[in-house]
Amino acid sequence: MATTRKASIRKRLLIMFGLVLLLVAVLGLLKFLQIRQLIASIPKPQPQVVTALEVKNESWQPQLDAVGSLVAVRGVSVASEIAGLVREVRFVSGQDVKAGAVLVQLNADADIAQAASLQAAVDLAASVLARNKLQLQAKAVSQAQIDADEANLRAARANLAQQQALIAKKTIRAPFDGRLGISTVARGQYLNAGDKIVTLQALDPIYVDFSLPQRDLAQVRVGQRVRLSNDAGASVEGRITAISPLVDAKTRNAQLRASVANPDKVLLPGMFARVAIESGEARPYLTLPQTAITYNPYGSTVFVVEGGDKPTAKQVFVTTGPTRGDQVAVLTGIEAGQKIVTSGQLKLKNGTEVKIDNRVQPANEPNPRPQEK
């Protein structure tokens, strides 16, 4: 009896244990199905959109770069040589004038009257000399008197010429063709000798003065072509006209001067300018936009696009060379014909699938210019 009861209890325990196992298995299966469904519902990674271009060999002209200042071929501050009261101002600030144009007329009434008096003295001395020459023929005067009369005439003429020069100095003229600056001189103002009236600058052509290190002097010569550019959007060519024979002992730089045409007169004295001097023969380089290079402490890298239907990105190390505007030369690490990512690298890693969209490309100009004027 007892044995039958124990067997019944054991049987019930086994059934309960089996039910528990079945319940755990069912719950585990449900959880597995739920996790698989969640995994299946996770969106698959989409290709990263980037821009890319095929790297090519381009011919680069080696050049020396410098920063210089524009200087007028002729530039002066027009001033009065003598003191006087301004009677007329015959120019407008900023006006282009020709050599000899009258700028300011000082009051010269007293000087003109004095010149008339001196002219009368000249006429009198000439009459006396002519009369005495007639008397000399009649032996009425001596040769010494004629000599004195001739000396008096020369002195009178010299006094008159001196006075006429003084009058001329009161008419202040432009010494050469150029453009006037801004002046505050007004009619009725008294000017002292040496007072500045207005600046005058000859703008076409114009000089650019710049310096180069001594190691680069062997690559330049008089007559060599240069290109000048600045933030005002100007980009013009010129020629080296002078190389200083003296190297600064402190900086080891030598000064050079180039002349550039300035027909539109947009280049003004005092402006800074970037100067590029062509030197040596052109060389071929693999060229990329500077945005394609990722600079790191451990080296520079680019992403190469590989594959056909599903292209992926591969990061490679490169060695960069000289730069030219928006471009950089790549010396090692890539080959001509490879597609290189030019923007969008921050979201890439090795093996990332990419989608190329070149509707908007990064700047890739060898001689970029400001977009806003």
What percentage of the chain carries pLDDT values higher than 70?
93
Q: Which of 163, 179, 201, 194 is nearest to 73 (CA)?
A: 201
Give the model's pLDDT for residue 267. Answer: 83
Mean pLDDT of 98-106: 85
When the pLDDT of each residue in the chain is averaged and rounded to a whole number, the result is 82
At the top level of CATH, which class does the domain 108-169 belong to? mainly alpha
CATH architecture under which domain 49-60+282-356 falls: Beta Barrel (2.40)
Tell me: the pLDDT tens digits for 307-325? 877 888 889 999 988 887 7
Distance CA(3)–CA(334), nearest Å, equals 87
CATH architecture under which domain 65-72+203-278 falls: Beta Barrel (2.40)
Name which of 17-21, 89-93, 116-120, 165-169 the model is least confident about.
17-21
Domain-wise residue ranges, the chain: 1-42, 49-60+282-356, 65-72+203-278, 108-169
Band (pLDDT 50/70/90 cuts) for residue 348 is confident
Mean pLDDT of 332-346: 87
Distance CA(352)–CA(47), nearest Å, equals 7
Q: Which residues of 122-146 are buried (b: 16+ CB within 10 A; e: fewer)?
A: beebeeebeebeeeeeeeebeeebe
Q: State yes or no: pLDDT of 178 exceeds 70.
A: yes
Tell me: the pLDDT tens digits for 192-235? 888 888 888 888 888 999 998 888 888 888 888 888 887 766 67
**Distance of alpha carbon 224 from the chain centroid:** 19
Mean pLDDT of 222-249: 83
Q: State yes or no: pLDDT of 10 exceeds 80.
A: no
